[in-house]
Amino acid sequence: MASIKYTIFYGLITPENVWQCSESLYGCRTLETYNTTVTLKDLAPFTNYTVRVAMSNFYSIGMSSPGPNAIFTTAEGVPSEPILLQAEALTPTSIAIQWRPPVKPNGHPLSYEVRWYRDGSVHKWHSMSYLSAPDEQPLSYRMLLKDMAPATNYNILVRAYSRRGDMHSDSELLSVATFELPGNLTLARVTSREIDLAWTAPSEPIILSHRIEFLKPHTSEWRYLTSEATEANRTYIYPLRKLQPRTPYSLRMVLTYRSSLNDSFAWPPEGHHFAFHTLADSPGRASPPEVSTLGRDLFQVRWDDVPRNGGELLLYELQVRSVDSIDEQRTGDTEQAWITAYNSSANHWIIRDLPAQSQYVFRVRALNEFGEGEFSSPSEPFTLPEPGAVIGLQSNSIRSIIVFVFLGILLFASVLLLSLYIVYKRRQKEKKVLQDNVRDLRPDLELATLSELPRNGNFIQQNNALYALGDLPLDEELASVPLIERDQIILTKFLGSGAFGEVYEGIAHNLGGEGVPPAKVAVKNLRKGATEQEKAEFLKEAKLMRAFGVLLWEVMTMGQQPYPARNNLEVLHYVREGGRLDNPDNCPDDLHDLMLRCWSYNPEGRPDFAFCLDTLEFLREKYQAFASIATAVHNHNYLGQSFTGRHRLLSSHLI
């Protein structure tokens, strides 16, 4: 049998899907062999080829028609080098790299490695970055190198890797230098209210523009201050005005460098800033003093606090000047007429040692270790009356008698009408409560039995954690307080009301559990719309009894017990309704006025201990001639009757 000769026709398929070896066999490469296995050489890597085979032998006339096309793909090869490499410094710490993929990738996908080293580096290639090519190959690639060293020359190339990373080729090597760091903002001039800053631009025109930002106080938010185009080697001065004394100010610069991207560069870098401090200064000008009446024959000069302006110490100097006429009030402002009456750190002074029946004006200034502030404007003229006199009236005149009589009659009539109106409203409300058998009760309640309450003073402290006078109750103690459901209580009688709300008498069923006989109880509820402070005070009335005013009362009575005719529950209701301890016998009215101020309804209206000390010292000097004080006291207002006196609207806050 004759041997068969095989003729192989093959050719590549271009990326554009053009077949070099088509049906006409024109352009095909050929190879003849008598073997059934053959190796095609000199092929391109990662390329598709078409292969067709025709057969013939010694006896045939020509070749047979070639068989169908078979398509084969060669393996990946070494990619050619990346082309058109570009490197550009954007800022002192960043470089932009751009390149195009190899002309002959010889594989897909490729990956790229940006390699660089610094001039003088011990390890040549000490930093690398990788970038994988996407499925669709772009025309060019870009990578940003950050955290580079300023003013440093870098040598950079790009390496292309085959898919498996076992073959690669390198681009050309480029050299690029980063920019130098810009100059710092420097302090040109500083005072307590002003700062002048200076900045010099680089000698080369590498910066397009610059702006200055300041850090908003107590935040991390940067705010715009000013900006302008940058001229090379120019020194800029930036004045900051209307600043506060002894205050830190944080600033930074944002520079735009000339490049293809015009990137911005914050200087100092993130997390840092330029810090400047204004100088300390003498205090500012104080507001005009004001004179107020604290009690009988007791007057106080007070003024607003003055900013320290960076000083550690702050003292006040209060000066006084007598005024004899209207003309002198307006024109007589000579410095010799002013006399220093007070030097201290407190912003108030109780008037003492000034002749009565004279008119005065006051002015004040603040001082610290850096100097003296300006004096305030003079206060409004103030006439100091005789001790025991009423301000603005002559106590020995007929006019005073007429006014007092008229005011007394008017006050008596007003109190009488008000009392009748209150009694009428209470009876109407009590009648409505009894008729409707009120079932609705607000959620904030206090509950106490009436008939079973012992008369010893510490019963509530020992049996109700909400009235503890010592430390606050523990969680276990609070948990032991019984929970009273609303449907266990039937209200039977309206007892009264006050600033806190209303009090009812009622019957509680199963108060101690199933089978326990009904008990008479008193139920107190908060008024509608009570504030959080009132809700808190609602649960700590007994603790608030420890007041400085009560202590003064006990001292003046030589240790008598307050409220001797009432038990704890009655005392609480009495105080809530505005009741106050009477003035002890032989106790000066001035001292009792101080006690009443300690029991003021508004906590802000109560004096501080410095004021109490000044008042007590003043009263000691005024009444030092008194040798003894009687101890008897009769509290007529609270013996078995609800209090309806002039202090009804005062709060139960006693401290």
The CATH number linked to 469 is: 3.30.200
Structural domain count, the chain: 6
Q: Note whether 94 and 263 are within 8 A (CB).
A: yes
pLDDT in tens, 121-172: 776 777 676 777 666 777 888 889 988 999 999 999 999 888 887 888 999 9
pLDDT in tens, 51-71: 888 888 877 777 777 878 888
Indicate whether 335 pLDDT > 90: no
Per-residue model confidence (pLDDT) at position 348: 92
Sign of CA dihedral 80, 86, 89, 94: negative
Indicate whether 363 pLDDT > 80: yes
Return the HEC string of 87-111: EEEEECCEEEEEEECCCCCCCCCCE
152: number of Cβ within 10 Å? 19
The mean-pLDDT minimum among 176-190, 263-277, 442-456, 569-583 falls in 442-456
Gap between the Cα atoms of 379 and 348, Å rounded: 14
- The answer as to whether 398 is a domain residue is no
User: Same domain for 303 and 379?
Assistant: yes
Q: In which order are the strands placed within the sheet that holds 489-497?
A: 445-449, 519-526, 501-508, 489-497
The mean-pLDDT minimum among 118-132, 288-302, 365-379, 536-550 falls in 536-550
Gap between the Cα atoms of 121 and 472, Å rounded: 71
- The answer as to whether 425 is a domain residue is no
Please tell me which residue, 56 or 327, carries the higher pLDDT value: 56
- The answer as to whether 629 is a domain residue is yes
550: which 2 tokens? 């009560």
Question: Is the omega angle on the peptide bond into residue 109 within 30 degrees of 0, that is, cis?
Answer: yes
**Binding-site annotation: residue ranges for ATP:** 524
pLDDT averaged over the chain?
77
| Mean pLDDT, rounded, for 561-572 | 74
Give the model's confidence band at 400: pLDDT under 50 very low, under 70 low, under 90 confident, else very high.
low
Residue 154 pairs in a beta bridge with 118, 176
- The answer as to whether 270 is a domain residue is yes
Per the structure, the complete domain to which residue 64 belongs is given by 5-73
Per-residue model confidence (pLDDT) at position 461: 41
User: Same domain for 201 and 307?
Assistant: no
**Binding-site annotation: residue ranges:** 524
| Mean pLDDT, rounded, for 573-594 | 79
Q: Note whether 515 and 522 are within 8 A (CB).
A: no
User: Same domain for 166 and 199?
Assistant: no
Q: What is the CATH number of the domain that holds 68?
A: 2.60.40
Question: What backbone phi and psi angles, to 5 degrees, belong to 16?
Answer: -85, 10
Question: What backbone phi and psi angles, to 5 degrees, belong to 487?
Answer: -75, -5
Per-residue model confidence (pLDDT) at position 360: 93
User: Same domain for 259 and 232?
Assistant: yes
pTM of the model: 0.51
- The answer as to whether 412 is a domain residue is no
Residue where a domain stops, chosen among 73, 104, 132: 73
User: Same domain for 301 and 267?
Assistant: no
Q: Of the spans 108-112, 270-274, 396-400, 649-653, which averages the highest pLDDT? A: 270-274
Residue 360 pairs in a beta bridge with 322, 382
Indicate whether 290 pLDDT > 70: yes
Gap between the Cα atoms of 557 and 560, Å rounded: 6
Question: What burial letters (b/e) apply to 369-404, b meaning 16+ CB within 10 Å?
Answer: ebeebebbebbeebebbeeebeeeeeeeeeeeeeee
Give the model's confidence band at 457: pLDDT under 50 very low, under 70 low, under 90 confident, else very high.
very low
The mean-pLDDT minimum among 182-186, 430-434, 607-611 falls in 430-434
Residue 88 pairs in a beta bridge with 96
The full length of the chain comes to: 655
- The answer as to whether 407 is a domain residue is no
